[in-house]
């Protein structure tokens, strides 16, 4: 998500510093948006040029930070001007080293005992001014650009294709492929996934032509997350009454989405239609920005 942002809004120094590490996945820049309480400079300088060189002091917290315990960096939206009339104004986009003093990452252990998400606290964390992306107080412009790329990725088409193949295997083993009702639903999901992949390729072709993601990419987020949930429901159905305890892992099998028990996987994917902007919000975006309603 952040690489396109730096290509579009980053300084030459930021591009040289971060992009070479991100491309081969040596550096993990994430893990998400921070809605911090404040990201103010320690004091106001009379000289504007001196003010730009002063660090920011960031105080606030971010909950549900996925894989935050692995992150080397975090990109943050912080409020740098609390006196603006519009909530979208007065926000700046900062890159923050997770090893900076004042940052605390606290794990949130789920009911499945898995550690995937975290709560991140910022206590007067000093952030160099050169870590500001784009202009001060113009961070919402950057955030909207980033969200377009995020929503293009939340459909997780390649993962869904793998899960669809696995569901077919489970259904075959359970003797459900000849069940008309199960087969109808499985076929519908497969057709929707094929249509989603074609639509995603169309958007990627637009990107190749230089057009950034617009509001219409919310379609990918809506349908992609609904397909993810439908696949977990079908997987649960293949196990029947024993779904809560079934763990369909074969010896020596590579890691995939089904190495966990079916029930925790089903519960975990309930969040898919909420994160990256809930699907209800995505429909509002499409109605206003794309359909003009």
pLDDT tens for each residue of 236-253? 999 888 787 766 654 444
CA torsion sign for 111, 112, 117, 122 is positive
pLDDT of residue 2 exceeding 70, the answer is yes
Q: What number is the average pLDDT over the span 39-59?
A: 56
Q: How far apart are CA 218 and CA 14, in angstroms?
A: 29
Looking at the DSSP bridge assignments, the partners of residue 107 are: 118
Q: What is the crossing angle of helices 218-239 and 139-153, to 10°?
A: 40
pLDDT tens for each residue of 61-74? 888 888 888 888 99
pLDDT band at residue 254 using 50, 70 and 90 as cut-offs? very low
The residues annotated with a catalytic role in the active site are 150
pLDDT for position 37: 46
pLDDT for position 243: 80
pLDDT band at residue 27 using 50, 70 and 90 as cut-offs? low
Question: What are residue 195's phi and psi, to 5 degrees?
Answer: -65, -40
Share of the chain above pLDDT 90, in %: 51
Encoding tokens for residue 272?
């898919």
Q: Mean of the per-residue pLDDT values for the chain?
A: 84
Report whether 272 contacts 220 (CB < 8 A): no
Question: Which CATH architecture does the domain made up of 154-290 adopt?
Answer: Up-down Bundle (1.20)
Q: How far apart are CA 42 and CA 242, in angstroms?
A: 58
Q: At the topology level of CATH, where does 2-141 sit?
A: Butyryl-CoA Dehydrogenase, subunit A; domain 2 (2.40.110)
Write down how long the chain is: 293
pLDDT of residue 224 exceeding 90, the answer is yes
Q: How far apart are CA 269 and CA 230, in angstroms?
A: 10
Query: 124 in the Ramachandran plot: left (φ > 0), alpha (ψ -120 to 50) or beta?
Result: left
pLDDT tens for each residue of 128-187? 999 999 999 999 999 989 988 888 888 899 999 999 998 999 899 899 999 999 999 999
For the whole model, what pTM was predicted?
A: 0.81
Q: Which of 47-51, 79-83, 114-118, 257-261 has the lowest mean pLDDT?
A: 47-51
Start-to-end CA span in the chain (Å): 29
CA distances from 223 to 195, 231, 253 (A): 10, 12, 29
Q: How far apart are CA 12 and CA 1, in angstroms?
A: 18
Q: Domain residue spans in the chain?
A: 2-141, 154-290
Share of the chain above pLDDT 70, in %: 85
Report whether 151 contacts 221 (CB < 8 A): yes
pLDDT tens for each residue of 96-142? 999 999 999 999 998 777 888 899 999 999 999 999 999 999 999 99
pLDDT of residue 30 exceeding 70, the answer is no
Residue with tokens 């070479």: 20
pLDDT for position 248: 60
Residue with tokens 């996987």: 265
- Closest to 290 in 3D by CA, of 183, 153, 151: 151
């Amino acid at each position: 998500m952040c690489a396109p942002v730096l290509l579009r809004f980053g300084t030459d120094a930021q591009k040289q510093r971060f992009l070479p590490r991100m491309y081969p996945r040596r550096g993990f820049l994430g893990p998400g948006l921070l809605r911090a309480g404040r990201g103010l400079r320690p004091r106001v300088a009379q000289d504007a040029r001196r003010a730009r060189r002063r660090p920011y002091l960031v105080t606030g917290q971010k909950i549900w930070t996925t894989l935050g315990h692995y992150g080397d960096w975090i990109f943050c939206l912080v409020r740098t001007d609390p006196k603006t009339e519009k909530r979208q104004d007065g926000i700046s986009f900062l890159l923050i080293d997770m090893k900076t003093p004042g940052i605390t990452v606290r794990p949130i252990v789920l009911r499945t005992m898995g550690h995937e998400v975290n709560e991140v606290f910022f206590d007067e964390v000093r952030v160099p001014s050169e870590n500001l992306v784009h202009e001060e107080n113009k961070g919402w412009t950057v955030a909207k650009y980033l969200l377009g790329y995020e929503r293009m990725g939340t459909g997780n088409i390649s993962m869904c294709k793998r899960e669809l193949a696995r569901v077919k295997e489970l259904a075959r083993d359970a003797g459900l492929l000849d069940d008309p009702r199960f087969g109808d639903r499985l076929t519908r999901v497969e057709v929707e996934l094929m249509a989603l992949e074609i639509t995603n390729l169309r958007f990627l072709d637009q990107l190749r032509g230089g057009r950034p993601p617009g509001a219409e990419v919310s379609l990918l987020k809506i349908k992609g997350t609904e397909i993810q949930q439908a696949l977990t429901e079908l997987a649960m159905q293949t196990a029947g009454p024993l779904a809560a305890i079934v763990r369909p892992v074969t010896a020596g099998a590579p890691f995939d989405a089904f190495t966990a028990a079916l029930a925790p996987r089903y519960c975990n994917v309930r969040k898919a239609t909420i994160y990256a902007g809930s699907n209800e919000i995505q429909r509002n975006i499409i109605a206003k920005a794309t359909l003009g309603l």
